[in-house]
Amino acid sequence: MIKIINGKRYDTKTASMIESWDNGLGSNDFHNCSEDLYRTSKGNYFIHGDGGAMTRWSESNGNTTWGSSGIEALTFKEVLEWLEEHGFDIPEEAIELKKLVEEA
């Protein structure tokens, strides 16, 4: 999937997938959701998500809502929040993110 956001191309075929998460629900469940975290060759991060009609990835025409997929660009802070929310550690290749986290 490819999406242009603020003049930058985010492409799941050319970026490196860092982590993958899903909520374990079946594909026919309206709450089914999966997200993949990607890093571009220039060090930008984005999520490719796919979900049912009751998820953030849904689409609507006003009368009907259906499951869909999409791409969302993330800031470094949003990447850290996503990793923490889904129980992942900071990946080794994400040196720029490690600099933002301080020792407890």
Look at residue 70 in the predicted model and tell me its pLDDT: 97
Residue 56 belongs to some domain of the structure? yes
CB 56 within 8 A of CB 70: no
CB 67 within 8 A of CB 52: yes
Read off the pLDDT of each residue in 43-67 and give the average, rounded to a whole number: 94
Considering only CA atoms, which of 55, 1, 64 is closest in space to residue 25? Answer: 55
Length of the chain measured in residues: 104
Report residue 90's pLDDT band, with 50, 70 and 90 as the boundaries: confident
Look at residue 73 in the predicted model and tell me its pLDDT: 97
DSSP notation for 56-70 = TT-EE-SS-EE-EEE
Residue 89 belongs to some domain of the structure? no
The model's pTM: 0.87
Look at residue 95 in the predicted model and tell me its pLDDT: 66
Look at residue 91 in the predicted model and tell me its pLDDT: 78
The count of structural domains within the chain is 1
Residue 97 belongs to some domain of the structure? no
Domain of 44?
Answer: 2-75
Residue 98 belongs to some domain of the structure? no
